[in-house]
Structure 1
Amino acid sequence: MTVQPGWYTDPAEPSTQRYWDGDGWIGAPLPADATPPPGPPPVEPEPEPSSAPPAGLSAPERSGTTTTATSPTSPTSGLPGLPGSPVPPGSPGAPPANGVPPWPGAAGPMQPGPAGLPSPGPVPPAWGYPPYLFPVGEPRPHGKALAPLGTRIAARLIDIGAVLLLNVVVNGWFVWRYAQEVGPVYREIVRRSVAGNSSTDGLPPVSPQADWLLLVILVIAAALWFAYEVPAMANTGQTFGKRLLGLQVVSLGDAEHLGFGRAARRWNTLGLPTFFWYCCGLGFLLQLVDCAFALFDRPLRQALHDKRAQTVVVRLDRKTTTASAPPTATDRSDTSGGPTP
């Protein structure tokens, strides 16, 4: 995922903000509550090295011929913290081994972290520090906090109930006809099970019409789900359940709204396995794994259909009047976030 250039809160120092040019941090930091310039900061000229020796130094010191700290025979050479001594690997100020940054996204040398722990250099806003060092504030896409998993599950259950009601109205007759076709077979199986007979010989035949009815039921169910969810996601990023609980699906790119293409890709990953429900529940198992992926994904808590469409579910601030208001500088500087539920 490519992080767009712009002003973001410095993960190494949350009280400041710096400019990310797509490859690394540039320019001097600004206070977190300050209004940044519209573009990148001006490049500061590097000071030219002075060839004149500092005043007050003796001739040996000006010529650099002293051997107190650099001579191999000096009793103080090789001690940590003294001139001429090597910097131990992994300590603050030591260069990365073989010139490789600590992990993808690190753009500078190691810097001292809290309590003396070594922490990586500047990183893009989408990357967090490794969890084995120390936790940082969770991401805030478009200045909004990530939606709690419990609220997301409740919103999805509301949407399932709404789609189920639509199926009762549109799909009810086909379900009733299918039950009439397969009902005698299941009733005979239950009767034999109660009697302790596990034989399958002599069961009533199932009409070929039952297979067509099952296919029609699944097609209508998927079409109703598509019509319920995709247009709403494309326009506002909210279904009925998400709107009721104050959630919204936003894009990880520049545009906050999804559009029809991205909303359709998001639904395809979750909705198309509906056609495999007749295969011993294989479709339901795929959908369950898709949604359960959000329980383990960090830091954005994305389900598989979110990763497919590059979207994320956020919680809307109920104090705001519009759900799609652009983020302000204050929103971008707020990196506080509670622990992941």
Structure 2
Amino acid sequence: MSVEPGWYVDPAEPETRRWWDGEGWIGAPIPVDVTPPDGPPPAEPEPTAPTPTSGATPHTGAADSPGHAPTSGAPGQPGHGPGQPGRPGQPHQPGQWPGQPHQPEQWSGPPGPGAAWPGQPGQAGQPGQQGPPPGWPYPQWPGRPPVPRPHGLPLASYGARLVARLIDFGVVFLLNVLVNGWFVWRYFEAIEPYLRETMRRALNGDTSTEGLPQIDDQAGGLQVVILLIATALWFAYEVPSMAARGQTFGKRLARVRALPVETDQPLGFGRAFRRWSTLGLPTLLWYCCGLGLLFQFVDAVSPLFDQPLRQALHDKRAQTVVVQLPRARPDAPTTPRDRADPPGESP
């Protein structure tokens, strides 16, 4: 999944942020606790040639004597001195003084394990190609890659998310008892004679199906009404609260919150609906031999197998991530989150 351009925490230097242009890091890093500017960093100005001081002979770029190399890195002449046009901001190589004639770079082979090619994301201030030359394998993180911290917050554990979801299911179940209870009672009245006779024959070892009571014709319609009401109650409970705060009642108790991947902002109605519909709409398919329940189970366990952001299928559709909120300190005043603070997730 490509990451949109923006200011992100540099995985190589977690204390700094840098601008990610969609393919690599550009610009100079800034401290992570400083609010970045809007948009990409300004282009670095090309350094100008040093101005001669009074009483000094200005350098003309020509050699003072035959065989004497220029020392100021004039345009079109070799040299690695600071401020040489055409090589903005590049420091001279170790063991090479400013003004020393340029020595052709020697190919020393591919970088070793854990090293990165020039221009690879995470290498500050190194222009070049994005990735290794053709034919070379792309280098990987040395050892285990760092755990992402979207917007500076740790990812919520699966246990915390499961507890929050079970609490929400309990609330939705109570709402169904109050609103949907009469329809459920009528449905069981319609199928009760059939169930009772089936259970009696099963206990007596009778496997015949002849003479079984017919199920009331209203049972099918009642089942559809029950599922529609249950889905509507779930929608009314979850979507508005997730759109406004990224939290339901269960998530507040578990101290977890859903945030957009790219910014620390409320989800909004559209994103909250897309997130809920992936998990909630399959409720309407429960009457199809439990097919909807199977879809919901796969969605519920999907964070266990997703790396690195532990996103469920409904998170991937809405491009959200669930984070763990810190415990509020009673002795420290709480401050609202800076809504203008750009994302802090490492791509």
Please report the TM-score for the alignment, with normalisation by the length of structure 2.
0.70
**Secondary structure in 1 matching 2:14:** coil
**Secondary structure in 1 matching 2:259:** strand
Conserved? CA contact 1:174–1:217, under 8 Å: yes
Q: How do 1:136-147 residues align onto structure 2 when only pairs under 5 Å count?
A: 136-147=145-156
Structure 1, gaps ≥5 residues long:
60-82, 111-117, 121-128, 336-341
Q: Which amino acid aligns with 2:149?
A: R
Aligned match of 1:45: 46
Q: Is the alpha carbon distance of 1:154 and 1:88 closer, same or farther for their aligned partners in structure 2, counting shifts above 3 Å?
A: same
Q: Deviations over 1:13-67 (max 9, x none)?
A: 334443323442122344556676666154153799x9878999899xxxxxxxx
1:217 aligns with 2:230: no
Q: Is the alpha carbon distance of 1:10 and 1:168 closer, same or farther for their aligned partners in structure 2, counting shifts above 3 Å?
A: same
Q: Which amino acid aligns with 1:45?
A: E
Q: Which amino acid aligns with 1:321?
A: T
Aligned match of 1:10: 10
Aligned match of 1:197: 206
Q: Which amino acid aligns with 2:26?
A: I
1:88 aligns with 2:88: no
Structure 2, gaps ≥5 residues long:
50-59, 70-103, 122-127
Aligned match of 2:334: 321
Q: Is the alpha carbon distance of 1:154 and 1:93 closer, same or farther for their aligned partners in structure 2, counting shifts above 3 Å?
A: closer
Tell me how far apart the structure 1 counterparts of residues 37 and 64 of structure 2 sit (CA, whole Å). Answer: 39
Q: Deviations over 1:298-328 (max 9, x none)?
A: 1111111111111111122233736754486
Deviation at 1:276, TM superposition (A): 0.8
Q: Is the alpha carbon distance of 1:241 and 1:36 closer, same or farther for their aligned partners in structure 2, counting shifts above 3 Å?
A: closer
Aligned match of 1:307: 316
Matched residue count? 287
Tell me how far apart the structure 2 counterparts of residues 142 and 324 of structure 1 sit (CA, whole Å). Answer: 11
Tell me how far apart the structure 2 counterparts of residues 183 and 55 of structure 1 sit (CA, whole Å). Answer: 111
Tell me how far apart the structure 1 counterparts of residues 14 and 64 of structure 2 sit (CA, whole Å). Answer: 38
Conserved? CA contact 1:178–1:213, under 8 Å: yes
Conserved? CA contact 1:143–1:327, under 8 Å: no
Q: Is the alpha carbon distance of 1:92 and 1:225 closer, same or farther for their aligned partners in structure 2, counting shifts above 3 Å?
A: closer
Conserved? CA contact 1:316–1:323, under 8 Å: no
Conserved? CA contact 1:6–1:19, under 8 Å: yes
**Secondary structure in 2 matching 1:14:** strand
Deviation at 1:297, TM superposition (A): 0.8
Q: Is the alpha carbon distance of 1:314 and 1:215 closer, same or farther for their aligned partners in structure 2, counting shifts above 3 Å?
A: same
Aligned match of 2:57: none
| RMSD over aligned Cα atoms | 3.8
Tell me how far apart the structure 2 counterparts of residues 196 and 55 of structure 1 sit (CA, whole Å). Answer: 115
1:155 aligns with 2:164: yes
Identical positions, percent: 54
Q: Deviations over 1:75-94 (max 9, x none)?
A: xxxxxxxx997533454899
